[in-house]
Chain A
């Protein structure tokens, strides 16, 4: 061993000098809330207890391995039973377990207390995006992965550099105020998802048809990232969660901005009704919208993914079928399938563009134009 020492030193230091270690985390996060810190403490407590038990048990074992070996000429002892010892090593673990159960119960009761919240937000998971709806505010929006496809589709050699928040970034983060008790009502539109932000120690399943509760109260403004934690199909790995925690004042400003944006959007919708867009305009907007919202299932090529996600290229629905039916499927979705409703996800103009795009891209070439007004006829007043 002695003469190998320098080599070991070099190897060990190589491992630790590696700059990647600096940003690599080994342990659970302490998080940003009182609850998450309690959870962290509990985690460390159990870890220390397990380590201590491990040292004692494995220590006894290695002692036997080192000193009670036949090659040292020992004769085996012949004891093989002791009620006293059995009782002892049944009772001691029970005492240790009670020592762990008490703080765990305490933390759990605190975590499950959903009363007296200041802000309530409904979170709805769907394949593969999150929808946030602020109660009493009329604000609601979808939050979708914003990492560009080129960064993760690496089947061919690519030179696209991956961003720092690769797969953990969204177009519109959830915004909540700091130092307020925020309650989440969590549900799903399709399969089971799970809303998880490690820094809040909140992980709650989103069950279709049922509503789960969770809450948090974040100390410091900042950006916190998480991911869907329950297998929810193909793009389970691609539905991150980003929460932006703002000071109360900034949060109020943000709420105002959102309200103005909603008014503007409504005006734009109205204006688009009398608007008539040209083919190139529709195709361009259609392509952007398609790639952002449709391509995950129907694929950029329009070929779909058999058997669950049908092809649009050459499909009767997008060629010879009626435009109204086509719009209807996009607006209302198709019950019993993975096709969801885009009524709330896209503007009239975007739906018009995407339907136009689907009817003219990939050699579908129907030459048909769809305008916002056509969509309005199908979607009715609910829009």
Chain B
């Protein structure tokens, strides 16, 4: 497969150097219209597809959240029935995790990894095409269940048995099938990332010369390969429990509903890091660029990322402190979870040290990155609080948890995605984005996201459980503000859509390297990046210049 690919791209490079037109005519890469996108094996095209898909899913999941916040605007049931409310929260979670954040990062991986390691394409381009094109079907299946008699999955994105088995509304089969397809897609994507990084780095780029961005995606891909099969296993057990009379999770047949949670969270906790490690990579690229200073502590960043990945496998049961674990188990998982604060702290300290005595400018990617560091750290603080078992008994399953993971996933992962998108938009489109509009996007998002999620901490501490369609009167005032913040945040994301469309259609021409402090092989090629890059490996000089580690 790899040999074929290389052959393919060699052929392409020959055509590139002779006549662009002749190349277009018979090379399948440049078909026009729908076929180009359906059959493409080009990493840039597939990256674009992933990014657009993720954004569309983000708007879809966001629309569901808008309905949730509208229902919670005031006490009482006004708009939706409780059962439909549960469908909304469930599908909102599934879409945002599997449809928005993860595909967006895969989009970044596709676009940037080959360019960053000086490779002509991903190692397995046809599989790359597949891993994208099965995704829309997965989500079509998931979303279509809204229109069936059963309704959509209503058991929470964590689908705890037996609510999702014996007591399910009949949507379990669609749900399981959709998750299987998402899992296959992720595994194929991860294999591609690993093979590309291991085999296709330009000669002279050793592992410790790779940009930190590449390192984080590398480690993330290993996490994916390790845990996606576990997810596939647990949904299959769910399926057979529901439809084929097994009793994995049914005490009446010798099973155990808590075992479901152990298996699910053995997938679920590394999954959390799957959604944040790439963010660390993006932020570690952008902060040095706009501080005009090398990344502080490159190797400690690599080790911290690896430690976080390792620890992520031995902390899963901190999601389950109230399930009736033995004292020893609770202590073990509490200590391990607290330990994660150490490598995470190292990362934050390194970013701050990178900014320290730099020469800072505040372009939109940098603004999002600074907001990331502060707000992600706030999410980290609440994570540390949640790690303490005795207090977790109070926080667990309240809005405090909702606040925590939205700080980590929205102001964390999503903000890093925005930072990365603004940073590389000139490379992707060949145009500079509208500075004014992008600043509007940033400030509107920043203010509204905090209005949306910060009061949730107070709601949780005051005792509001999560996943309820109606609440006691003392929670009314904060919920109103949270909803207003939610609507504002939702609307603000449309500004981003406007910026991107405007940027694709035109604007100031972008130079090959629009950011004076940026390093990396991607800035050595023209903007927009040519359809084929690095058909011949980059010179050692460029690789050395791109090195975040030594200079």
Contacts and interface: CB of A to CB of B under 8 A. Distances in A.
A81 B297 contact: yes
Contacts of A82: 297
Interface string B155-196: 110001011001101100000000000000000000000000
Interface string A297-322: 00000000111100000000000000
Contacts of A60: 352, 356
B170 to A, nearest CB: 5
Contact of A166 (B151, B299, B472, B478): B472
Nearest to B293: A76
B300 interface: yes
Contacts of B370: 61, 65
Interface in A167-203: 167-168, 190-192, 194, 196, 198, 201-203
Contacts of A86: 297, 300, 346
Interface stretch (B104-112, B136-144, B230-238, B372-380): B372-380
Contacts of B398: 229
A338 B167 contact: yes
Nearest to B255: A209
A234 to B, nearest CB: 5
A213 B289 CA distance: 55
Interface in B297-355: 297-300, 322-324, 327, 330-331, 334-335, 338-339, 341-342, 345-346, 348-349, 352-355
B194 to A, nearest CB: 28
B490 interface: no
A191 B162 contact: yes
B467 interface: yes
Interface string A54-67: 10011011001100
Interface in B452-486: 458, 461-463, 465-474, 476-478
Contact of B373 (A21, A61, A85, A194): A61
A4 interface: no
B511 interface: no
A107 interface: yes
A230 interface: yes
A201 B463 CA distance: 11
Contacts of A267: none
A81 B300 CA distance: 9
A46 B388 contact: yes
A108 B390 CA distance: 5
Interface in A40-60: 42-43, 46-47, 50, 53-54, 57-58, 60
Contact of A336 (B166, B341, B473): B166
B389 interface: yes
Contacts of A236: 82, 86, 465, 467-468
Given A64-B356, A191-B162, A208-B251, A24 B385 contact: no
B381 interface: yes
A54 B474 contact: no
B252 A101 contact: no
A97 B397 contact: no
A152 B474 contact: no
Nearest to A228: B465
Contacts of B476: 20
A94 B462 CA distance: 30
B204 interface: no
Contacts of A47: 385
A98 B265 CA distance: 26
A212 B322 CA distance: 9
Interface in B351-396: 352-362, 370, 373-374, 377-378, 381, 384-385, 388-391, 393-394, 396
Contacts of A112: 327, 330
Contact of A28 (B349, B461, B473): B461
Contacts of A229: 322, 396-398, 465
Contacts of A85: 297, 353
A97 B339 contact: yes
A198 B394 contact: yes
Contact of B358 (A18, A76, A109): A76
B93 to A, nearest CB: 11
B496 to A, nearest CB: 24
Given A57-B352, A190-B167, A68 B463 contact: no
Interface string A219-242: 000000011111111111110000
B85 to A, nearest CB: 8
Given A42-B388, A235-B82, A27 B461 contact: yes
B331 to A, nearest CB: 6
Contact of B390 (A65, A75, A201, A209): A201
Contacts of A27: 458, 461-462
Interface stretch (B17-25, B70-78, B403-411, B531-539): B70-78
Contacts of B390: 38-39, 42, 104, 107-108, 111, 201
Contact of A203 (B81, B358, B393, B470): B393
A39 B391 contact: yes
Contact of B256 (A28, A43, A210): A210
A100 to B, nearest CB: 7
A29 interface: yes
B443 to A, nearest CB: 15
A13 interface: no
Contacts of B397: 194, 196, 203, 229-230
B251 to A, nearest CB: 2
A71 interface: yes
Contacts of B170: 307-308
A1 interface: no
A3 interface: no
Nearest to A156: B78
Contacts of A74: 357, 359
Interface string A90-102: 1001100100110
Given A23-B474, A54-B377, A201-B393, A81 B149 contact: no
B388 A167 contact: no
B286 to A, nearest CB: 15
A371 B160 CA distance: 41
Given A60-B352, A68-B359, A50 B149 contact: no
B472 A39 contact: no
A383 interface: no
B77 A80 contact: no
A210 B463 CA distance: 26
Given A76-B291, A209-B251, A194 B352 contact: no
Given A203-B396, A308-B170, A166 B75 contact: yes
B294 interface: yes
Residue among B258, B361, B373 with max Cβ neighbours from chain A (10 Å): B258
A17 interface: no
Given A68-B358, A70-B360, A93-B345, A26 B393 contact: no
A295 B153 CA distance: 23
A162 B75 contact: yes
B329 to A, nearest CB: 11
B385 A167 contact: no
A105 interface: yes
Interface of B: 75-79, 81-83, 86, 149-151, 154-156, 160, 162-163, 166-167, 169-170, 250-252, 256-258, 291-300, 322-324, 327, 330-331, 334-335, 338-339, 341-342, 345-346, 348-349, 352-362, 370, 373-374, 377-378, 381, 384-385, 388-391, 393-394, 396-398, 458, 461-463, 465-474, 476-478, 551
In the A-B complex, the 4 residue pairs with the smallest Cβ-Cβ separation, listed nearest first, are A209-B251, A237-B468, A154-B76, A80-B294
Given A69-B362, A108-B390, A202-B393, 7 more contacts: A64-B352, A80-B551, A162-B473, A167-B75, A227-B463, A233-B83, A336-B166
29 contacts: A25-B461, A28-B394, A54-B378, A75-B359, A76-B357, A77-B358, A78-B294, A80-B296, A89-B345, A100-B338, A104-B389, A166-B472, A194-B322, A203-B394, A203-B396, A205-B322, A208-B251, A210-B257, A210-B258, A212-B324, A227-B463, A231-B467, A233-B86, A233-B163, A234-B154, A235-B82, A236-B467, A238-B82, A336-B166
